[in-house]
Chains A and B, each alone.
Chain A
């Protein structure tokens, strides 16, 4: 593989780059568009919006997802909102400020040009979604309402109750459905991509498994768009949906696509704490709650009094105390680390002592119960359903949980990986959030990629490449298909003694303990050794029940876990290599006296892109150049 990665950032001043790019590209003749087949894997915000938009433009689209319907992609679960620089509240927002906040929030580890384009496009997204009928929250005058979110001092977040992701996804799904009805998109639900097919070095197809019949299928096209989401489930417990996985991305990685910044993981500060070892996933409570909820722990260690019996003077509102200008609205990485520290100091609350309070008493007194119910009613209900406790009366108990992965497949400005013809969109790529993502910006990125970036960049690729006709009978498809079949058979043939879930939990424990909220050289080395041993054991002793010719979810999960067992090791290696603390990546060795993250800009202002070969991984560095923003120590004090 090439040892240098070209980010293809267009020339010109930052504000003009995207326009310069669009002005300079070749276009596909409208009559030729329908001659191109594009394979879109994933139907979340990124894949759904891309598939719909490309079909509207006239391309032939084949779309794939694991769930029984494209409407159920993990994006559906996003709660809080989506950012845009509309400045409707007139509180000082601009495209520049959204750009700046996102780069700063990402602790200066993202690409300026990409982030600036994202901020520019943000406003079009809101327009598009409203036109689709997305029922965003409105004010009494009939105009759109905004709320504030962590890491920003303006209100720029659009929302639809606590179901923003659902409404945005249904908007994209409905646009997709229209194109399905018109015959421009062929939909393949309950299909899992198991491999990427390269012909003459270019991405020309995928191998999938039909999850109902077990059949292995070949699909060919002129380009492949990977929109397969994040890999937070490598930790077993996370806020991601159970089907979220790294398999499609990992298969592409093993076919040559570089994997960038794998160790950059976001741990979200407000999730419902673990209740027992049967726990299958964690539930997020939207960041928007921190607008009105106040975070605190008892000042005394091991205080077992009920929260309401602890007087004000004996509570520590530690975020308000340490970060007076942002208070409870500090970015996620900062809030999470502080919660962990409070619990490590023995001030944690609840049965397990691994929780802090998020308290609405003051807001209820100030605004009234109805106002709070209007803002957060459905979240409060969800909390009560899960915990059996009423947050109107007693503070919520919260603990950080794995939530989002900033790392992903490396892409250039055109969202193309280093494998030609393979484009990566949404959470599956690494591009816009640096070492920490700000709230409400993943939805923005997924939709920006799908509605407004890929139509241009894919068109440019197709217009400037002469692609030979290729179909499923090509030898490359046969080879990839036999690999996929062999893997399925191998997994079923082991018939060992430990279940897939047992192995996954074990991997999750290693990842959380050593590659989680705080990392050390010693711990990371331990993680690498333990994961290697676990992986070897998995391939000797896993017990996968059932057959390959029927629906068999254990078999699906086994294949995904096998890839997580490789990814986990790379994450630890990446974390070991990055000898600095930045954003969600906190190395205990690199912190200031008062426990804040210490970056090392001289040595680590780069994207760590890992290339795979039979002999292992090699690191390729893409230096990050800051032309418009001055790197400073991130402070929310």
Chain B
């Protein structure tokens, strides 16, 4: 069986949206290299509950890197040290006995803290509601194979559509911009003929909504791409800009 490790955690605790937050330090004496990072938090929470303290709240659901629920900043990096990995898929074998890990929530004005490590990301939903769709009612579609799409275009569309809406890109951006998230959806639909009729209205509405939500502007730091668990490329942001200018020109 794997060796157990002693891990220290410095975790951001905040009782509610308006409460003052602070770091608290805890120790998990029996961490195991096979456990996931969220399982480490589970173990810590059991410890806290047993000693009469409030457990740490954090969002999670699939624990498979696909739902986009989880998301914390680990040692200053959104989702932690392993590239292209959501923090639910980060495993403790990347740490060693005696390590200290600092855990914080996403920090962005457009993502207010709800409690501890949980933030409100509903701004993302409003960006999609502004235009991130194809207006097609159920029942009105033609046979699927009436619309051939080159494999290369379909594959690229899939690359962009893979975004899980976690918000790491915002957390990593010095301007707290939501550009990578928004651009991923715009690029996905711009790759496909189905997206063409609403191409201009979509990009305008989504970009405007992004600004309205209080996200910052993109100034090409590329921190977003580095932390994105799905490897969304910042080339999508260039596409978004191009689409936006084209829409502006009418």
Which residues of A are in contact with B by a Cβ distance under 8 Å? 49, 52-53, 56, 67-72, 74, 76-77, 86, 88, 124, 126-133, 135-144, 160-161, 163, 166-167, 170, 173-175, 177-178, 180-181, 187, 189, 212, 241-243, 275-276, 278-281, 283-284, 351, 382, 385-386, 388, 451-452, 455, 499, 501-502, 543, 545-546, 550-554
Contact = CB atoms under 8 A, between A and B. Distances in A.
A167 B164 CA distance: 10
Contacts of B151: 138-140, 142
Nearest to B92: A278
Interface in B158-191: 158, 161-162, 164-165, 188-189
Nearest to A451: B138
Interface of B: 1-2, 15-16, 32, 34-36, 38-39, 42-43, 46, 48-50, 52-55, 57, 59-69, 82, 85, 89, 91, 93, 114-115, 118, 120-122, 124-125, 128-145, 147-151, 154-155, 157-158, 161-162, 164-165, 188-189, 192, 194-195
A178 B134 CA distance: 8
Contacts of A142: 148-151, 154
24 contacts: A53-B137, A53-B138, A56-B138, A69-B124, A71-B68, A76-B66, A77-B64, A126-B144, A131-B141, A133-B157, A133-B194, A135-B155, A138-B155, A139-B151, A163-B66, A181-B130, A189-B125, A241-B61, A280-B39, A385-B85, A502-B46, A545-B52, A551-B115, A554-B49
B69 A67 contact: yes
A129 to B, nearest CB: 8
Contacts of B189: 133
Contacts of A52: 138
A59 B162 CA distance: 31
Given A68-B59, A173-B128, A455-B138, A278 B69 contact: no
8 cross-chain pairs, A with B, having the tightest CB-CB distances, nearest first: A142-B148, A174-B133, A131-B141, A181-B129, A127-B141, A135-B158, A130-B144, A177-B129
A278 B91 contact: no
Contacts of A181: 129-131
Contacts of A388: 91, 93
Contacts of B114: 212, 551
B64 to A, nearest CB: 6
Contact of A180 (B43, B48, B64, B129): B129
Contacts of B195: 133
Contacts of A382: 64-65, 89
A135 B138 contact: no
Contact of A86 (B49, B61, B144): B144
Nearest to A126: B144
A628 to B, nearest CB: 27
B153 to A, nearest CB: 9
A135 B63 contact: no
A140 B16 CA distance: 53
Contact of A127 (B34, B65, B143, B150): B143
Contacts of B143: 127
Contact of A133 (B68, B69, B91, B192): B192
A499 B138 contact: no
Contacts of A502: 46
A144 B125 contact: no
Contact of B138 (A133, A452, A546): A452
Contacts of A279: 39
Given A163-B162, A388-B91, A551-B118, 4 more contacts: A170-B161, A242-B60, A452-B139, A546-B54
Nearest to B19: A550
Contacts of A283: 63-64
Nearest to A174: B133
B61 A499 contact: no
A545 B54 contact: yes
B105 to A, nearest CB: 13
A365 B190 CA distance: 38
Contacts of A49: 138
Contacts of A241: 61-63, 67
A160 B93 CA distance: 31
Given A56-B137, A67-B69, A166-B66, A160 B129 contact: no
Contact of A276 (B34, B59, B136, B154): B34
Given A170-B161, A242-B61, A127 B144 contact: yes
B57 A551 contact: yes
Nearest to A160: B158
Nearest to B42: A280
B154 A137 contact: yes
Contacts of A143: 145, 148
A178 B135 contact: yes
B117 to A, nearest CB: 11
Contacts of A69: 68, 121-122, 124-125, 165
Given A141-B148, A161-B158, A180-B129, A130 B141 contact: yes
B142 to A, nearest CB: 7
A77 B82 contact: no
A56 B138 CA distance: 8
Nearest to A139: B151
A77 B66 contact: yes
A628 B245 CA distance: 60
A167 B128 CA distance: 15
Contacts of A53: 137-138
Contacts of A127: 141-144
Given A56-B138, A132-B134, A143-B145, A72 B68 contact: yes
A324 to B, nearest CB: 34
A281 B63 contact: yes
A501 B194 contact: no
A281 B70 CA distance: 15
Contacts of B55: 545-546, 553-554
A550 B16 contact: yes
Contacts of A129: 144
